[in-house]
Amino acid sequence: MKPLGNLDLSAAESFSEPLTDRLRRYATGIIFWLRPKRLPEMPFLLGETLWRLAVPGPKIPGPTSIWKRPAGYGGPVHDASVDGILAGMKAGFYQMSHFGPFKWWAPPQRAVMLLKDVHVPRRFRRTMKQSPFSVTMDQAFAEVTLACAAPRRTLHVTWLHPVMRKKMQDLHEAGHAHSVEVWDGEGNLVGGLFGVSLGPVFSALSMFHTANDSSKLAILSLYQHLESWGVTAVDHQTLGGWVEQLGARLMPHEDYRALLELPAPPAGAIPGPWMVEFSTVQTADWQPAGAAEITHAA
């Protein structure tokens, strides 16, 4: 199978960032925070970050680490190792930083899909059955993260800069981060997503598509596999149109933390590569097993 045509595979594999690119990223990151919507939060973000760099808080963030402004800010990351990142995510946080130190975030409301509640529109079931796409897992992780980081607007600001993509790659190689890839009939990578397995919850961090419906198929294939493995929910961080149509909803941070504390199903407890078990046609016919069965599997 072939990667996305405009991807620089050397960038996907090396994770290097030339000085000019780094300076451009810092400049666009500053512009992002100086926009009228975010400017009032900038002094708080800067002050709290400097304070926690000088007087570090807990190595692993918790409820007491969350600041009120910006809403959900958990301070800089003090342990960016694989174990440190994983522990922070299992505590209900995710990393996102356009520039400066890595930062933890835990917003008051989290977009979560309970897999027992997935509802697939009939029209899209027909679309999947007629689709030329095929799905794989963990076959092109670096290429997927690079595609997710690709520019999508004039002011390109992404948290998936090379240093962060390297951290995600480390998680992948340790068996905790996974990708779903969608390929067209000619073997071109046209869509996908990636995220981190947290036991009873999968945290979907980013997705991309260059062909209509490819990322939608990636999401549904992920849901089907996770539900069959006994996973309870998928964390999407923010509520997007498609996942909301499928049944995702906003959930208070405390309720999301409670999901993370559920027992881990066997598939979520053992790190390692994932393999596809269902075809596109099988995904088109999939119906969630139901709340009782998922609770029992977890």
Domains of the chain: 9-107 (3.30.70.3550), 111-297 (3.40.630.70)
Which segments of 55-140 does DSSP mark as H helices, in order?
82-90, 122-129
Of the listed ranges 55-59, 133-137, 180-184, the least confidently predicted one is: 55-59
pLDDT digits (tens, 9 = 90+) for 204-252: 999 999 999 999 999 999 999 999 999 999 999 988 888 999 999 999 9
Q: Residue 200: pLDDT above 90?
A: yes
- pLDDT value of residue 44: 85
Q: Residue 8: pLDDT above 60?
A: no
Q: Residue 293: pLDDT above 60?
A: no
pTM for the whole thing?
0.87
- 125 band by pLDDT with thresholds 50, 70 and 90: very high
- pLDDT value of residue 112: 97
The whole-number average pLDDT for the span 163-188 is: 94
Nearest residue to 92 (alpha-carbon basis) of 56, 52, 61, 68:
61
- pLDDT value of residue 3: 53
- pLDDT value of residue 156: 65
Q: Residue 129: pLDDT above 50?
A: yes
To the nearest whole number, what is the mean pLDDT of the chain?
Answer: 86
- pLDDT value of residue 34: 73
DSSP letter string, 22-54:
HHHHHHHHHHHHTSTTTGGGHHHHHHHHHHHHH
pLDDT digits (tens, 9 = 90+) for 262-279: 988 876 557 889 999 999
- 174 band by pLDDT with thresholds 50, 70 and 90: very high
Whether the upstream peptide bond of residue 70 has omega within 30° of 0, thus cis, is yes
Which segments of the chain does DSSP mark as H helices, in order?
9-14, 19-33, 42-54, 82-90, 122-129, 141-148, 162-173, 214-228, 241-246, 253-260, 266-269, 280-284, 291-297
Tokens of 221: 């294939």
- pLDDT value of residue 7: 52
Q: How many CA atoms within 13 Å lie on the side-chain side of 290?
A: 2
Of the listed ranges 69-73, 245-249, 287-291, the least confidently predicted one is: 287-291
